[in-house]
Amino acid sequence: MNTQFDQALTDVLKRGKYNVLTGRTMDIKKYLTDLIDEILAKIFATFEIPVSESASGNGNWASGFAIVLLTLSILGVAAIVIHIVRGKLKEEPDMEGVLAGIDPSRSPSDLINAAAAFWADGQPRDAARHVFAAVLLALDKSGALSIGVSKTNKQLAEELKRKAPKFLSSFKSVSNIFQIVWFGGKNLDEESFSECLRLGSLLVGEAGSEKR
Encode pLDDT of 37-59 as tens digits: 777 677 767 766 665 555 444 44
Same domain, 108 and 21: no
User: Do both 107 and 75 map to the same domain?
Assistant: no
Count of domains in the chain?
A: 2
Rounded Cα distance, 19 and 25, in Å: 8
pTM: 0.55
Residues 59 and 108 in one domain: no
Least confident of 35-49, 73-87, 118-132, 147-161: 73-87
Amino acid letter for position 49: I
Query: Which residue, 40, 69, 91, sits at the end of a domain?
Result: 91
Say how many Å lie between the first and final Cα of the chain, rounded.
71
Domain termination site, one of 69, 91, 113: 91
* 147 or 169, which is more confident: 169
Q: 150 phi and psi, to 5 degrees?
A: -90, 0
Confidence of residue 148 (pLDDT cuts 50, 70, 90): confident
Q: What is the mean pLDDT of the chain?
A: 75
CB count within 10 Å of CB 22 equals 7
CB-CB neighbours of 209 under 10 Å: 7
Q: What is the CATH number of the domain that holds 179?
A: 1.20.120
- The reported pLDDT for the residue numbered 15 is 54
Q: What is the mean pLDDT of residues 21-34?
A: 59
Mark whether 87 and 117 lie in a shared domain.
no
Instruction: State the pLDDT confidence band at 8, using cuts at 50, 70 and 90.
Output: low
Assess whether 106 and 204 both reside in one domain: yes
From the list 71, 60, 67, 184, the residue with the least C-alpha distance to 128 is 184
% of residues, the chain, pLDDT over 90 = 34
Based on the fold, state whether residues 118 and 178 are members of the same structural domain. yes
152 and 69 assigned to the same domain: no
Phi-psi region of 178 (alpha: psi -120 to 50; beta: other; left: phi over 0): alpha
Q: Are residues 178 and 112 in the same domain?
A: yes
